[in-house]
Amino acid sequence: MRAMVLDSAAQLTERNLPIPEPGPRQVRVRVIACGVCRTDLHIRDAELHPPRLPLVLGHEVVGTVEAVGSQASRFAAGARVGIPWLGSTCGFCEFCRRGEENLCDQARFTGFHMDGGYAEFTLADERYCHTMPARYGDVQAAPLLCAGLIGFRALRAAGDPKRIGLHGFGASAHIIAQIAKGQGREVFAFTRSGDVEGQKFALSLGATWAGGSDQSPPEPLDAAIIFAPVGSLVPAALKAVRKGGSVVCAGIHMSDIPAFPYDILWGERSVRSVANLTRKDGEDFFRIVEQIPVHTTTETFPLGEAETALRQLRQGKLKGAAVLQVAVGGL
């Protein structure tokens, strides 16, 4: 099979690898589409360090089950599935027992601990796969598996805000803006300074206001979610939320948060992070996107142009989400 492999030189190289054989609880999935996530970029740029190299990236995988392991019974051959970031957990630790499997110390992640979807085939534990909503084509569904899921977890972590700020209007924010709007919330979008096209994009998705990250919203916000990996946005977001408001950091990696005066935190404002996701997050999220029509804006790239997709993500040149179209026929 063809695969884009991250090697020790921190670059993706196209290689021919053996088609993998599923273990007892695994399914082998023929990859149709795989979203390109900022976490992939952090791994590619050595800001996050996977436990092994070489490695196949990609954890927003949509494809069809081609083979099943000896103890796998959840999906039949030909079923369409989604493979997310969370690849497995221990099931026994205090976090798993409390329904917080996203915090399991033994968790393994797709495209980090095990090979992911920048390839024609991949393996996954069937217990951690999702049945994808039929209303979405393969390419349109791919960003839902991380940009959507992590954004949704961050939105819930923000409480029940009437006015919410979204910092970094990329793959996650463009999905969550539509969900927040569908729930009756007002969305305030913050883009890179001077990104007029990004601000127009946010307004086209129903944002009440859109401006640069160096601007203040026209009224105090109840909460803010930071999707951009920029630590300096934390004090900026704190300044924009009302007393009792919250700031949620949604990324797996962020540059250092600078020192800031206590008075912008005072007034029972809070700062918190979200980490990974749970299978229940997926179940809840996919029910919601069946009720609230969400359109994912995507730019597609062939598998061999994964580096191009990552470069455009790094440079902020994408509108919505980048998706690798691995197999011909992906919608």
Confidence of residue 329 (pLDDT cuts 50, 70, 90): low
The structure tokens listed for 261 are 């005066």
Domains and CATH numbers, the chain: 2-146+277-325 (3.90.180.10), 149-273 (3.40.50.720)
Cβ–Cβ < 8 Å for 123, 115: yes
- What's the pLDDT score for residue 330? 46
For 165-191, what is each residue's pLDDT tens digit?
999 999 999 999 999 999 999 999 999
The residue-averaged pLDDT of 130-138 equals: 95
- What's the pLDDT score for residue 21? 97
- What's the pLDDT score for residue 120? 98
Helix (H, G, I), strand (E, B) or coil at 331: coil
DSSP assignment string, 146-211: THHHHHHHHHHHT-S-SEEEEES-SHHHHHHHHHHHHTT-EEEEEESTT-HHHHHHHHHTT-SEEE
Whether the per-residue pLDDT at 111 is higher than 80: the answer is yes
Is 6 exposed, middle or buried, given 0-12, 13-18 or 19+ CB atoms closer than 10 A? buried
User: pLDDT averaged over the chain?
Assistant: 96
- What's the pLDDT score for residue 151? 97
Whether the per-residue pLDDT at 252 is higher than 50: the answer is yes
- What's the pLDDT score for residue 11? 84
- What's the pLDDT score for residue 331? 45
- What's the pLDDT score for residue 238? 98
Confidence of residue 8 (pLDDT cuts 50, 70, 90): confident
- The model's pTM is 0.95
